Structure 1
Amino acid sequence: MKYGKVEISPKSWEIIVKNIIEDTLGGNMDNNVKIDLENLSKIEEVGKFASEKAMKFISDMTGYKASLKVFNIRLITPQEIMEEYGDEKRIFTKIDFNGEIKGSGILIFSEDNAVKLAKAMLLGMGMESDTDDMDEMKISAINEICNILISAYVDSFANFMDTSLTMTPPEFISGSGKEILKNIFEKYGIGNEIILAFRSTLHVEEVGSQFDVLIVLPQDSITMIFEAIRKGKIKDKLSVKYDN
């Protein structure tokens, strides 16, 4: 279901309702859920701003037009998101960010789409690649795309919250979508709880390539973002358009 413009998965809604009931009755809340339903839809503005910034970056890098094919923000459990990506082999490149909030920014491709986009980027840099293998040059290109795109999201979060965040170098991973996401969740100690996931599907039109940008934030970072919204930090920053 949706609350405002933010999608709440069935399992997440079940956890939220259970905790509201227990809190009302004076019971012990599970999973440390601290979801501010009144301000939930405002988070969309942050993600949309960052996604539009990422689209401009991808167009500048490749010379091709990029469009935002899908954009949503969801409260979802790790198990539900792992099941969405399943056991199919995929190409991942991942950056972790830390500071006042923490999380992971992940680009998720099919192998074919990763190769197409990497070749387009290399061509834009004057380097042709005749093979369809995911060689070192293409891996470097995909990692660079990850570095620039995820920085769009991380910089937006940092600016809106008046803080600074650090990023790790991109990490290229190939394998089962479910297993790779499981490892990411385990790193943050995320179990059967609610996470905040920004998911965008960017389509590079002339190349015929598309991929998901997935931003995953654990619960303590969700709480920090809600606090920033309540203090008016995010609302004040949204009038500043990205025009560089």
Structure 2
Amino acid sequence: MKIGNVEISEKSLEIIVKSIVEKTLGENMEDRGLADNFDLDCLAKIEDVGKYASEKAMKFITDMTGYNSELKVFNIRLATPEEIKEEFGEDEKIITKINFNGDIKGTGVLIFSRDSALNLSRAMLAGMGMEAEGDEFDEMKISAINEICNILISAYVDSFANFMKTSLTMSPPEFCEGKGNELLDKIFNENNIKNDDIIMAFKSSLYVCDVGAGFDVLIVLPNESVSKLFEVIRKGEINDKLSVKYDN
């Protein structure tokens, strides 16, 4: 289901409706994060931040590699961890992640197929004048993928921090290989996110040079951080200048 530019999964919509009913009846005793704070106007402002961050990330990658790059955020997607894990299933994935902390905390995740990660790492290294042979993830390729994660997630984290007029700190990127659902389950558990909570994700596609390398960007926020973000938006304690396009 799609409302405006927000894509809502069937399970997420069920949780949101249930939360609204319980809250109306005074029966909702647990903070359900985005479900309790669902607001299309707030989500529209968050989408503006995502668009701004994407344009900023695209410019960073273009400057770094020298290649024309394209990065798009199609919409904000709301889904449960169970649905996200089911989508990626047991297929082998390459995941890079960065934790961030401050007024809000969470994890920024890039999820690649193995081929996409290899193609993108080679393109990045070639743009820096380095050759990358073979189909294994050696130290150079891992470093390139981690740098991509650092560039992209820092663009999102910095944009959220500026939007909220605060500061956030980031951990070094971490490279992981394995089954998509198992890797994501670990991330959800680290953020104390339950299977019936709602994840806010930015669906993105990245293209560098003539090599198309699609991947997903997930911004994983625990309930308290979702509540804090919506509270700041409702109070108007935000930097609305971030809704404008990134100035090349």
Structure-1-length-normalised TM-score? 0.92
Contact 1:64–1:207 (CA<8 Å) still a contact in 2? Answer: no
**Mapping of residues 146-185 of structure 1, within 5 Å:** 146-185=149-188
Q: What amino acid does structure 1 have at the position aligned with 2:207?
A: H
Contact 1:98–1:165 (CA<8 Å) still a contact in 2? Answer: yes
Q: Who is 1:26 aligned against?
A: 26
Post-superposition Cα deviations, 1:57-77, rounded to whole Å, max 9, x if no partner, equal 122222222223552212221
Q: Secondary structure at the match of 1:11?
A: helix
Q: CA deviation at 1:125?
A: 1.6
Q: Who is 1:11 aligned against?
A: 11
Contact 2:7–2:76 (CA<8 Å) still a contact in 1? Answer: yes
Where do 4+ consecutive residues of structure 1 move more than 4 Å?
A: none
Determine if the alignment matches structure 1 residue 243 to structure 2 residue 247.
Answer: yes
Q: Secondary structure at the match of 1:208?
A: strand
Alpha-carbon distance in structure 2 between the residues aligned to 1:57 and 1:220: 31
Contact 2:8–2:78 (CA<8 Å) still a contact in 1? Answer: yes
Determine if the alignment matches structure 1 residue 49 to structure 2 residue 41.
Answer: no
Q: What amino acid does structure 1 have at the position aligned with 2:134?
A: T
Q: Who is 2:208 aligned against?
A: 204
**Mapping of residues 215-234 of structure 1, within 5 Å:** 215-234=219-238
Among 71, 76, 89, which residue is 1:73 paired with? 76
Post-superposition Cα deviations, 1:44-94, rounded to whole Å, max 9, x if no partner, equal 111111111111112222222222355221222110111111110011111
Alpha-carbon distance in structure 2 between the residues aligned to 1:38 and 1:235: 18
Alpha-carbon distance in structure 2 between the residues aligned to 1:215 and 1:236: 21
Q: Which moved more, 1:158-167 or 1:55-64?
A: 55-64
Taking every aligned residue pair, what percent have the same amino acid on both sides?
66
Contact 1:197–1:217 (CA<8 Å) still a contact in 2? Answer: no
Q: Secondary structure at the match of 2:211?
A: coil
Post-superposition Cα deviations, 1:132-190, rounded to whole Å, max 9, x if no partner, equal 32111111111111111111001000000000000000100000000000000000111
Q: Which moved more, 1:135-144 or 1:1-10?
A: 1-10
Contact 2:91–2:179 (CA<8 Å) still a contact in 1? Answer: yes
Alpha-carbon distance in structure 1 between the residues aligned to 2:4 and 2:230: 15
How many residues of Structure 1 are paired with residues of Structure 2 in the alignment? 244
Q: CA deviation at 1:2?
A: 2.5
Q: What amino acid does structure 2 have at the position aligned with 1:10?
A: E
Contact 1:105–1:213 (CA<8 Å) still a contact in 2? Answer: yes
**Mapping of residues 132-143 of structure 1, within 5 Å:** 132-143=135-146
Structure-2-length-normalised TM-score? 0.91
Structure 2: where are the runs of 5+ without partners? none
Q: Who is 2:217 aligned against?
A: 213
RMSD, matched Cα: 1.9
Structure 1: where are the runs of 5+ without partners? none
Q: 1:146 to 1:67 in 2, by over 3 A?
A: same
Alpha-carbon distance in structure 2 between the residues aligned to 1:69 and 1:86: 24
Alpha-carbon distance in structure 1 between the residues aligned to 2:206 and 2:237: 28
